[in-house]
Structure 1
Amino acid sequence: MSKFPECHGIIPARYESSRFPGKPLAEIMGKPMFWHVYDRAKKCPQMSSVTLATDDQRIFDAAQAHGVPVVMTASDHQSGTDRVLEAARKLDIDSDAVVVNIQGDEPCLEPDMLTDLLTPFENCRVHVATLATAIGYEDAQSPDRVKVVRAKNGRALYFSRSLVPFDRDEKVHGFLLHIGLYAFRMEALMRFGELDPSPLEQREKLEQLRLLEDGIDIYVTETRHTCHGVDRPEDLEKAKTILERE
C-alpha cells in the first residue's frame, strides 16, 4: 500500500465526428456539453485538476470563455488516449501521478464513478484501472457492448465483444459490461504511447487489449453507476432530461 497519488482528469474533445460533428459544443441547458463533463468531473474529491484537451480553435475559445482549463493538441491522434497523453505531457504531470481519461460525451457523468475508478490506486502496484457494471444476457449479446472477465483480485483477464465467459451449461446469464473510463499512472500512459496496435486489439477493435498483450495489468472495479453517453444528436434530449431532473 502507498500514499494516494495525485489524480488529474483530462477530457479529450475533438470537433470532427462522423455521427455528430461539433459534439463537444452541443448546447445543454445553455452550456456546451464539455462544460457539463468538466463541472461534474471536478466534483470528484480525489481529482486534483480537470483539463480539456482539444484540436479545434472553436472548442478552445469556448472553453476559455466558460472558465474551463484547456490545452491545444494535435489533430492527427489515432485515439482519445493519445490525445490525453499529449495533454498530460504539456501539463508536466508527474510520473507517479494518475491521469484519468474522461469521455467528453458524458454530460451526466456521476462523480462517484470517478471515485470508484480511482480506488484501486491506493495500492502502489496498480498502474491502470477501469470500470464495469453488471448486465443481463440480452444486453450482453450485442457486439457493441464490450464485456470483461476478471480475476479474484480485480485484474482484467480479457475484454471482448463476444459473450465472455461462455456459458456452456446455460445456467448463469450474468456478465460484466466494460465502461470506457480509464485511469493510468503517468508512466503507464507513456508506455501505452510507445506501443504499436496489437493483434488482438486490431481483431476486436479494443485498444485496452494493447496493454494486456504487453503484460500490463488493468484492474477493474465494479460500479453501480451507468453511463449516458451522447453519440448522436438524438441522444441530447435524454441527457437534458437527466440533468433537468437532477
Structure 2
Amino acid sequence: MKTVVAMIPARYEATRFPGKLMKDLAGKSVIVRTYEATKKSNLFDEVYVVTDSDIIYNEITSNGGKAIKSIKDHESGSDRIAEAIENLDVDIVVNVQGDEPFTQKEPLKKLLEVFQNDIHNHVDIASLMIKMDDDEEINNPNNVKVVTDEQNFAMYFSRSPIPYPREKSKAIYYKHIGIYAFRKQALLKFTKLPVNRLEAAEKLENLRFLAHGLRVKMVKTNQIAIGIDTPEDLKKANTIFKH
C-alpha cells in the first residue's frame, strides 16, 4: 500500500454540546486527545485535523500537531476531507471522528488490511460494523443497521431494523460504525455525486455510495470507540482517563 493518512474533521459548533472538542479531558482538549490517540496507533504516514475553526486549528498546531483549514463551507465531514486531500499525494484516507478520544488501533488496522488484501482494487470504501443483540438497540433509529452480501459488501444501510425478523431466531443485526477508509478517488467521486432519494429519505450519506455503484466492504469488529456527544459523556471520559 502507498501513502495512508488519517483525517479528523472537526467543527467547533455542535448542536447537542457546543464547543465540545475544546472541552478539557484530563488536562488536554478533546480534539488534542483524539489527535494523539490516532497518532499513537502508528498506522498512518500523516494525521491531520481538518477544520473550519481558527480556535481548533490553533489548538492543534500549538500542540505540535498538523491541521488544515477548510476554504469552503461543508455539509459533512466527508466533504471537508475531500477538499483537504484533493491536492495531496495520498492513496488511502481514513476518516476518524473528532469526538472519539479513545480511538483504538485494532479497528483501524482491520480497515487498512482490506486495502492491503484488495489486489484487484475491487473495494472503494471500507467501514466497520458490530453485532447487536439488544432489541431496544436494534429498534433505535439512531443506530444505523447494515446488511451485507456473502463477501461482506454492503447491500443496504437503514435506520429501520433490517432484515425484517419474519423468523426472529434467524435474524442477525449489525450496527454500522461511522469510521470510513476511502480510496482517494472514491472519496473525490462521492462528494461530486448528487443526493439521491434514499439518502434524502433516511438522512444517511452512505446510501449515496451504494446508489452510485461504489463498493463498500464491511469489517466486523468487537470494539467501539467512546464518543463524546453530551456533557455526561465528557464526565465519563474524564473518569476513564483518571483510572
3-state SS of 1:68 partner: coil
Other-structure match for 2:128 = 131
The normalised TM-score by structure 1 is 0.93
Measured on the aligned residues, the alpha-carbon RMSD in Å equals 1.4
The answer as to 2:98 corresponding to 1:93 is: no
Which stretch has the larger CA shift, 111-120 or 197-206?
A: 111-120
- Alpha-carbon contact 1:5-1:121 (below 8 Å) kept: no
Distance 1:205 1:100 in 2: 22
The one-letter code of the counterpart of 2:22 is L
The normalised TM-score by structure 2 is 0.94
Measure how far apart 1:75 and its partner are: 5.5
Question: Structure 1: any 5+ residue segments left out of the alignment?
Answer: none
Measure how far apart 1:6 and its partner are: 2.2
Other-structure match for 1:70 = 67
Measure how far apart 1:242 and its partner are: 2.6
- Alpha-carbon contact 1:179-1:227 (below 8 Å) kept: no
Which stretch has the larger CA shift, 97-106 or 112-121?
A: 112-121
Other-structure match for 1:106 = 100
Which of 189, 211, 214 is residue 213 of structure 1 equivalent to? 211
Instruction: Write out per-residue CA displacement over residues 25-67 of structure 1, whole angstroms, 9 at most, x where no aligned residue.
Output: 1110111111111111122233111100111111111111111
Instruction: Write out per-residue CA displacement over residues 186-227 of structure 1, whole angstroms, 9 at most, x where no aligned residue.
Output: 000110111111111111110010010001110000011012
Measure how far apart 1:165 and its partner are: 1.0
Distance 2:61 2:42 in 1: 23
Other-structure match for 1:181 = 179
Measure how far apart 1:127 and its partner are: 1.5
3-state SS of 1:100 partner: strand
Other-structure match for 2:112 = 118
3-state SS of 1:191 partner: helix
- Matches of residues 2-151 of structure 1 in structure 2 within 5 Å? 4-74=1-71, 76-90=73-87, 92-94=88-90, 97-122=91-116, 123=118, 124-138=121-135, 139-151=137-149
Other-structure match for 1:244 = 242
Distance 2:171 2:241 in 1: 32
Instruction: Write out per-residue CA displacement over residues 58-86 of structure 1, whole angstroms, 9 at most, x where no aligned residue.
Output: 11111111111001003620101101111
CA 1:185 to 1:197, structure 2 compared with 1: closer, same or farther past 3 Å?
same
Question: Structure 2: any 5+ residue segments left out of the alignment?
Answer: none
Measure how far apart 1:89 and its partner are: 2.2
The one-letter code of the counterpart of 1:93 is D
3-state SS of 2:163 partner: coil
3-state SS of 1:162 partner: coil
The answer as to 2:192 corresponding to 1:194 is: yes
3-state SS of 2:86 partner: helix
Distance 1:118 1:8 in 2: 11
The one-letter code of the counterpart of 2:198 is L
Identical-residue share of aligned pairs (%) = 37
CA 1:65 to 1:45, structure 2 compared with 1: closer, same or farther past 3 Å?
closer
